[in-house]
């Protein structure tokens, strides 16, 4: 981050960066706990994830307030302006990651309430891949690591392939065991939510490239 002689301006930017890091850690923690609740059939942990969603929403609103304050009072230019505008987008992705964690937790509650098929090795591996991808995207933005950011689409391609394999496996189970259709649908929803978290990680990576290089690489740009 560019150093400034105005210490108040410098503090505003550093505090905003710290706030985004906090929000990233909260979103990452929600995903981890939602997945843990799913595999451990831990209804209490799943409900805790659901309850955390409002806190993440408030963090997003606070981030927006800080960004608007910097734009109004400091009139940032260059990399500082790109940082503020990137934060607007990144925190939206993080908030949506939190929403997807809640969706996974809710599916976990549904599955914990019944008996039958459960999340197998394919979903375990998919979960691990997505968590690694999300963690890398948050770290890359905080460290302004363009190389790592540019590697996120390749990680996402693997996640997409794993999602398709898991969905195919669940579809086969639903066909062969009609009594398990509801559980198979819940698990397929979990896979889709995980895949969407990977998409948001890619979005965060794109904002990292824009922040550092000034290039808009969204939509193949």
pTM of structure: 0.94
Rounded distance, CA 154 to CA 127, Å? 16
Task: Tell me the average pLDDT across 46-61.
Answer: 97
Task: Tell me the average pLDDT across 87-97.
Answer: 98
Specify the fold of 7-220. Methane Monooxygenase Hydroxylase; Chain G, domain 1 (1.20.58)
Q: CB count, 10 Å around CB of 128?
A: 12
Instruction: Answer with the residue of higher pLDDT: 97 or 118.
Output: 97
The DSSP annotation for 85-136 comes to: HHHHHHHHHHHHHHHHHHHHHHHHHHHHTS-S----HHHHHHHHHHHHHHHH
Q: What residue segments make up the domains of the chain, in order of their start?
A: 7-220
Using pLDDT thresholds of 50, 70 and 90, give the confidence band for residue 117. Answer: confident
Q: Per mean pLDDT, which range of 16-30, 143-157, 176-190 is the poorest?
A: 176-190
What is the structure's pLDDT at 6? 75
Report the mean per-residue pLDDT for the chain. Answer: 94
What is the structure's pLDDT at 119? 87
Check pLDDT > 60 for residue 2.
no
């Amino acid at each position: 981050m560019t150093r400034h002689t105005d210490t108040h301006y410098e503090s505003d930017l550093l505090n905003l960066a710290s706030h985004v890091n906090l929000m990233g850690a909260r979103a990452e923690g929600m995903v981890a706990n939602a997945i843990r609740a799913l595999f451990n059939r831990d209804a209490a942990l799943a409900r805790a994830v659901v309850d955390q969603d409002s806190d993440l929403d408030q963090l997003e609103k606070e981030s927006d307030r800080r960004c608007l304050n910097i734009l109004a009072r400091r009139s940032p230019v260059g990399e500082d302006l790109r940082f503020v505008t990137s934060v607007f987008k990144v925190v939206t992705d993080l908030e949506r990651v939190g929403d997807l964690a809640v969706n996974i937790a809710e599916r976990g509650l549904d599955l914990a309430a019944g008996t039958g098929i459960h999340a197998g090795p394919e979903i375990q591996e998919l979960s691990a891949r997505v968590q690694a991808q999300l963690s890398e995207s948050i770290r890359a933005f905080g460290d302004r690591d363009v190389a790592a950011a540019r590697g996120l689409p390749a990680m996402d391609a693997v996640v997409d392939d794993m999602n398709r394999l898991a969905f195919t496996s669940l579809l086969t189970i639903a066909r062969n065991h009609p009594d398990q259709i509801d559980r198979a649908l819940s698990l397929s929803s979990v896979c889709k939510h995980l895949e969407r978290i990977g998409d948001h990680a890619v979005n965060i990576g794109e904002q990292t490239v824009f922040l550092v290089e000034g290039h808009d690489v969204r939509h193949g740009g």
